[in-house]
Amino acid sequence: MTSPLQLALLLLALGFSRGLQHHYPDQADQVDGEAELELVAEPSKFGSLWPLPQKVKLSAVSLKLTGVSFQIADAKGSSAGSGCSLLQDAYRRYYEYVFGGAKRQQQPGKGRRAAGPAVLTELQVWITSPDPECDGYPGVASDESYELTVDQPYAVLKAPKVWGALHGLETFSQLVYEDEYGVKSINSTTISDFPRFAHRGILLDSARHFLPIKVILANLETMAMNKLNVFHWHITDDQSFPYLSRTFPQLSQQGAYHPYTHVYTPADVKMVVEFGRLRGIRVIPEFDTPGHTQSWGKGQTDLLTPCYSGSKPSGSFGPVNPILNTTYDFMSQFFKEISTVFPDAYVHLGGDEVDFSCWKSNPDIQTFMDQQGFGKDFSKLESFYIQKLLNIVATTQKGYMIWQEVFDNGVQLKPDAVVHVWIGGGANDEMGKVTAAGYTTILSAPWYLDYISYAQDWQKYYKVEPLSFNGTEEQKKLVIGGEACLWGEYVDATNLTPRLWPRASAVAERLWSAADVTDINDTFNRLSVHRCRMVARGIPAQPLFSSYCPREYKGV
């Protein structure tokens, strides 16, 4: 996913490309070649709502909440009761976010509703459809809509499924503010909300650098604050294989950076999946083949293609060897395991950036190419491999996602395959082509967040319009969303969180809110407060520009 463009950028980065380097950011921006708007922080009429809901009606009527009297509870008519632990967990989480973790204390002599007239005492959560999906997993077709009414004496959150309720709770928590006396307040409000796109993801790369579970969980938590719903776990790559496979333990034993301290055990994976589920987040694992697999070869002999130098093996290895039956036996068993470990209906199979030079060097592969009548066209060999792999995965009852090259090479895909567009420059054309062929697609090309630059690059991410390609209405409907990718070459636990947030928040709003939400000034104001809210919740989200948060980050 990374090499050609990144190499070019790296070369650029190595040169002294800047002229004057002033203290003033506006001048520095000119140096960067792109003058930015001078954004002045002032309160938005939408407060700190992020991402902006589809329909919001705010009134000036203010109600108070106290940690003593306020509670979040199931509405009478709700199809989810106290047995719905997903919601009970969320109630507690959001109570703590709203009241800063303060303990609820019953004060003697004071009833719950005795605190005065303009007080909000309860948020009633009402799941309206017969099956709330409490114990289910979120999916691409999950209903995430909700309606929130804040009024006296109750606020009511209505959602067909728990997934919408989770988003509604987040929205509710964003409506609460402190007045000048520090009293928690909320204005009477009506919100009706649903996502513009169903697939709103973050890709983290745990192969270039190992990411401790704690970091992954913290980022799932932050994703929920931004209504993102897919964690694309690029779990293995050339550099390391941290996934501990029950069927092939040698893969991580040999291929991880360290077989014990730098692996994800089945229990770890379970924890991530469940943590995600409780926040309405799907976990889609990516096991990228046939390229990007150097680390696989360490624990699985004969899986990779031996490269030749002249007539002898050079000792190095290339992509997965597509001509051996053992390769497909291995893949069958491996993906059978994966299909049980990861409950999501989709698995990402990669398929990007296959380097043909090793295949070309190998005489056995040449013979095979001749037998198959592929001539010198190695992309046919690649397609041959992928086709077999896709058929294997299809037997595990999973859908699959693949990087755009697989589509470009003309591999026959299942109708429900998702094509992942990542190559910058021409992404619009690609979206057009993929959707014209009738495939669903997601966009990542403009959202490679590992590419950093000076100043407010979040604006660039924000201004992307995923449906700006040429195509029919039908084609546009095939775009189910996008993903912000944080590739791991230069990222690990030390810098991941501030690098991702709030830059990924910009992507989150683009994927959730209506297409006409584009006022960059209002966005700046809401995002500034939203980032301070993430900081107050313990997430080291980096600043947008010179300013301050009432509660600064307490870590270092």
Regarding 248 and contact with other proteins (CB under 8 A), the answer is: no
H/E segment holding residue 109: none
- Closest distance of CB 544 from other proteins, Å: 8
Binder of other proteins out of 451, 467, 520, 522 (CB under 8 A): 451
Size of site (CB under 8 A) for other proteins: 66
Question: How many Å apart are CA 30 and CA 368, to the nearest integer?
Answer: 56
At residue 39's C-alpha, the angle toward residues 36 and 43, to 5°, is: 155
Regarding 14 and contact with other proteins (CB under 8 A), the answer is: yes
Binder of other proteins out of 4, 16, 60, 310 (CB under 8 A): 16
Preceding omega of 153 cis (within 30 degrees of 0) = yes
Binder of other proteins out of 154, 262, 268, 339 (CB under 8 A): 262
The active-site residue, picked from 353, 405, 430, 489, is 353
Residue 108 C-alpha from the chain's centroid: 46
Regarding 259 and contact with other proteins (CB under 8 A), the answer is: no
Here the tokens at position 487 are 């590739």
Question: How many Å apart are CA 285 and CA 340, to the nearest integer?
Answer: 12
- Closest distance of CB 424 from other proteins, Å: 13
Binder of other proteins out of 210, 233, 403, 439 (CB under 8 A): 210
Binder of other proteins out of 493, 520, 522, 536 (CB under 8 A): 493
Binder of other proteins out of 67, 136, 139, 212 (CB under 8 A): 212
Binder of other proteins out of 13, 114, 267, 515 (CB under 8 A): 13
Preceding omega of 242 cis (within 30 degrees of 0) = no
Side-chain half-sphere of 266: how many Cα atoms within 13 Å?
Answer: 10
Binder of other proteins out of 494, 514, 515, 519 (CB under 8 A): 494
Regarding 6 and contact with other proteins (CB under 8 A), the answer is: yes
Regarding 177 and contact with other proteins (CB under 8 A), the answer is: no
Regarding 181 and contact with other proteins (CB under 8 A), the answer is: no
Give me the DSSP letters along 282-329. EEEEEEEESSS-HHHHHHSTTSEEEEEETTEEEEEEEEE-TT-HHHHH
Binder of other proteins out of 192, 194, 498, 536 (CB under 8 A): 498
Of 436, 392, 395, 442, nearest in space to 417 by CA: 442
Residues in the chain: 556
- Closest distance of CB 95 from other proteins, Å: 22
Closest to other proteins by CB, 145 or 240: 240
Regarding 296 and contact with other proteins (CB under 8 A), the answer is: no
Question: How many Å apart are CA 239 and CA 237, to the nearest integer?
Answer: 6
Question: How many Å apart are CA 168 and CA 191, to the nearest integer?
Answer: 9
User: Residues 26-65: x/- map of binding to other proteins (CB under 8 A)?
Assistant: --x-------------------------------------
Binder of other proteins out of 61, 183, 452, 514 (CB under 8 A): 452
Question: How many Å apart are CA 271 and CA 435, to the nearest integer?
Answer: 36
Torsion-angle region of residue 460: left (phi > 0), alpha (psi -120 to 50) or beta? Answer: alpha
* 7-to-226, 326, 423, 447 alpha-carbon distances in Å: 32, 35, 14, 18
Regarding 218 and contact with other proteins (CB under 8 A), the answer is: yes
- Residue 501 φ/ψ, nearest 5 degrees: -115, 140
- Closest distance of CB 286 from other proteins, Å: 17
Residue 353: active-site member: yes
Q: What's the DSSP call for residue 359?
A: H
Question: How many Å apart are CA 508 and CA 517, to the nearest integer?
Answer: 12
Closest to other proteins by CB, 411 or 496: 496
Regarding 3 and contact with other proteins (CB under 8 A), the answer is: no
- Residue 440 φ/ψ, nearest 5 degrees: -75, 155
Regarding 208 and contact with other proteins (CB under 8 A), the answer is: yes
Give contact residues for other proteins (rule: CB under 8 A): 6, 9-10, 12-14, 16, 18-25, 28, 208-210, 212, 214-215, 218-219, 239-240, 257-258, 261-262, 450-456, 488-495, 497-499, 535, 538-548, 550, 552-556
Catalytic residues: 353
